[in-house]
């Protein structure tokens, strides 16, 4: 946090522009064991090093560093939790929503500090680090994770913030086929449907529908909470749930994806 506050001069939640230049120059030169200044590093070498760092750590390729990305660059005690989760991503957003429901015990639509502490304990159990961590350290880890991922500083994690801590392997809807006109075929639709229809009952419903919504919203919104998802669900079901049964079948999904394909391909051409 000291490093973060030092470089995020304007307090906008990102290290970018001149802040990023200063951070990268000092980071690159700091690895020189002889503790010499940046003038001994050629401009070309500096640019190469910066390119390598940004390719490795700028996960959303927006040309700037957020606090979670900084945590990947700088070594700290809590990093094993972040690295463990990134090395073991969830299969899909359906699994994410199941985890979300498990730890949002009071159904408030947020993961509060006590619920986050339980989640971190769960991570420790999975990574077989439980015996290495005291109760005091567990509280410290919880506080650190809140500092890292609670972007709006309300003392709890909304869905989009928790998604940074608990990544999934892939948002399937980000694939180019969904943004390329006339490229979407029945096989693509079958694959999407089977990805979300986890129980194989030929409907996308409950946590499956919430997982689909999460991926859909993630395409257009950086920050969203459960209230946003509820509004999106109402809109989606109103427009696509032809038989009004509160769930999505394959034909309804096909209609939705073809419409999205037309909108996305039009935007990419524009």
pLDDT in tens, 226-247: 999 999 999 999 999 999 999 9
pLDDT digits (tens, 9 = 90+) for 42-84: 778 778 877 888 888 887 788 888 877 787 777 666 566 666 6
| Residue 242: count of CB within 10 angstroms of its CB | 12
- Which residue from 254, 181, 169, 151 is spatially nearest to 215, judged by alpha carbons? 169
Domain pair 2-73 / 83-165, same fold: yes
CATH of 172-269, one of 3.20.20.140, 3.50.50.60, 1.10.630.10, 1.10.238.10: 1.10.238.10
Please, which residues bridge with residue 204 across strands?
248
φ, ψ of residue 15 to 5 degrees: the values are: -100, 115
Fold classified for 83-165: Recoverin; domain 1 (1.10.238)
Q: Can you give the pTM of this predicted structure?
A: 0.72
Check residue 84 and give its pLDDT: 61
Q: Mark residue 62 as left, alpha or beta (left: phi above 0; alpha: psi -120 to 50; beta: remaining).
A: alpha
Q: Which fold has domain 2-73?
A: Recoverin; domain 1 (1.10.238)
When the pLDDT of each residue in the chain is averaged and rounded to a whole number, the result is: 83
- Look at residue 36 and tell me whether its pLDDT is greater than 60: no
- Does 141 or 217 have the greater pLDDT score? 217
- Other Cβ atoms less than 10 A from the Cβ of 254: the count is 19
| Side-chain-side CA neighbours of residue 248 (13 Å) | 30
Domain spans in the chain, listed from the N-terminal domain onward = 2-73, 83-165, 172-269
């Amino acid at each position: 946090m000291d490093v973060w506050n030092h470089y995020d001069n304007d307090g906008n939640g990102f290290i970018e522009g001149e802040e990023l230049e200063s951070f990268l120059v000092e980071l690159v030169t700091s690895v020189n064991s002889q503790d010499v200044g940046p003038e001994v590093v050629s401009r070309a070498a500096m640019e190469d090093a910066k390119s390598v760092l940004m390719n490795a750590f700028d996960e959303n390729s927006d040309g700037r560093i957020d606090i979670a990305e900084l945590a990947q660059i700088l070594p700290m005690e809590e990093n094993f939790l972040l690295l463990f989760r990134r090395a073991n991503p969830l299969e899909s957003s359906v699994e994410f929503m199941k985890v979300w429901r498990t730890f949002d015990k009071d159904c408030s639509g947020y993961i509060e500090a006590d619920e986050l502490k339980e989640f971190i304990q769960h991570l420790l159990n999975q990574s077989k680090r439980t015996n290495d961590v005291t109760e005091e350290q567990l509280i410290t880890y919880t506080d650190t994770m809140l500092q890292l991922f609670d972007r709006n500083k309300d003392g709890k994690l909304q869905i989009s913030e928790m998604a940074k801590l608990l990544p999934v392997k892939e948002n399937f809807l980000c694939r180019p086929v969904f943004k390329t006109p006339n490229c979407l075929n029945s096989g693509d639709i079958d694959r999407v449907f089977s990805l979300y229809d986890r129980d194989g009952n030929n409907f996308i419903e409950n946590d499956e529908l919430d997982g689909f919504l999460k991926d859909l919203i993630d395409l257009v919104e950086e920050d969203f909470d459960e209230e946003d998802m509820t509004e999106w669900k109402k809109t989606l079901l109103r427009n696509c749930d032809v038989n009004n049964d509160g769930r999505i079948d394959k034909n309804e999904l096909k209609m939705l994806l073809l419409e999205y394909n037309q909108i996305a391909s039009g935007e990419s051409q524009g």
